[in-house]
């Protein structure tokens, strides 16, 4: 399974609005395309939205991520979630068994 940690620094004063836009657009589309969202957090001190999205299917992560961004649903998102984001940090992470 491929896991990606995504940290978005949201434009000041827009965190709560971004959360709603993400819940209504990004989340359902990722799920529809076979992604798994295993955790979502916000950090109000740093104005950050943090989430982990995973994929474990027959296609590669890259193919499915491209399919997400190329989908008519993503292109039609209004407002576009990216307009809320000042900075994006991503990293592929591995699970540690404890």
Out of 3.60.20.10, 3.40.50.1980, 3.30.70.100, 3.50.50.60, the CATH code matching 2-93 is 3.30.70.100
Instruction: List phi, psi (to 5°) of 55.
Output: -145, 135
Q: How many CB atoms lie within 10 A of CB 87?
A: 11
Report the chain's terminal Cα–Cα distance, integer Å. 18
pLDDT of residue 41: 99
Convert the pLDDT of each residue in 56-69 to its tens digit. Answer: 999 999 999 999 99
Q: What percent of the chain has pLDDT over 90?
A: 100
Spatial contact of 81 and 26, defined as CB atoms under 8 Å apart: yes
Band (10; pLDDT cuts 50, 70, 90): very high
Strand, coil or helix: 13: coil
Spatial contact of 56 and 2, defined as CB atoms under 8 Å apart: yes
């Amino acid at each position: 399974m491929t896991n990606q940690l995504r940290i978005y620094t949201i434009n000041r004063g827009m965190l709560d609005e971004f959360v709603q836009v993400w819940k209504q657009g990004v989340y359902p589309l990722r799920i529809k395309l076979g992604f798994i969202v295993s955790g979502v957090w916000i950090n109000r001190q740093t104005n950050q939205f943090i989430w982990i999205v995973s994929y474990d299917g027959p296609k590669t992560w890259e193919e499915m991520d491209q399919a997400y961004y190329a989908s008519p649903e993503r292109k039609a998102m209004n407002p576009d979630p990216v307009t809320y984001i000042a900075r994006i940090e991503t990293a592929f992470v591995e699970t540690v068994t404890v």
